[in-house]
A = this chain, B = another copy of it.
């Protein structure tokens, strides 16, 4: 089971612009897709953590996928997160995402209920069996509180149950084990979710990158990947370090006043708003919004990065 277009390159997790009353802002979502496509990204990932998938209702999730799929019109592959607590609920999400036109689904280990390696394996096998589109494993321990073992990912890949891995674990040694092990599995895509280690991940053999910050500066990530592939590692590193500095926007929100998610998603949306891509920087409930002063700090970092 593979995607028609094998997944490589830059596949940003697409933010979900909201209106002031927290409905999906469809025109802004289309504008964001245009902004990403214009930069030359290689695919789009809707309904990931950066998309505030945890906050979107099922109705909103469908609207997001339908909007993006229709707007992209087949120019790029569109992956959709099918994020829910357990196999039966994820299968409902898979059905909705594929009905809305997604080319692949991205699935985490079970969460909320305690889980076990054997249950995680069973979960992915059951979903792969019943999904009409390829399944990409989403390793995100900060959200689901378990880590996908590299050997399990490779085992499921070898069986054909998984078409790829999106690794947001921060464990680059485990990521290396998967990239090395996946060399003999040509249809399998290894993607890093890190904003800060794209050059390192590519050097280990990653196929692509899914950076949240890629909403704000897709050109930067596209350039970084091209420089790396052209063999200019020093220039790639310089580009990466510029993006690391820009990533400082996620520290604008006061950690005493809000969680790390509110700060990061608030900063991405503030930046998209300041850059004129989306109409409103609001995040979903119950996240805490950035203050005017915090938004100003985001603006200064954008200006320093030459993005304003």
Where the two chains meet, the residues of A that have a C-beta atom closer than 8 Å to any C-beta of B are: 22, 49, 52, 54-58, 60, 83, 85-89, 92, 110-116, 118-120, 122-123, 126, 142-145, 170-173, 176-177, 180, 194, 196-197, 199-200, 203-204, 233, 237, 241, 244, 256-262, 284-288
Contact = CB atoms under 8 A, between A and B. Distances in A.
Contacts of A87: 55, 284-286
B172 A123 contact: no
Contacts of A173: 170, 194, 196-197
A89 B93 CA distance: 14
A182 to B, nearest CB: 13
Contacts of A58: 58, 89, 92
A167 B172 CA distance: 14
Contacts of A204: 200
A172 B86 CA distance: 30
Contacts of A56: 88-89
B54 A284 contact: no
A85 B55 contact: yes
A85 B285 CA distance: 11
Nearest to A171: B170
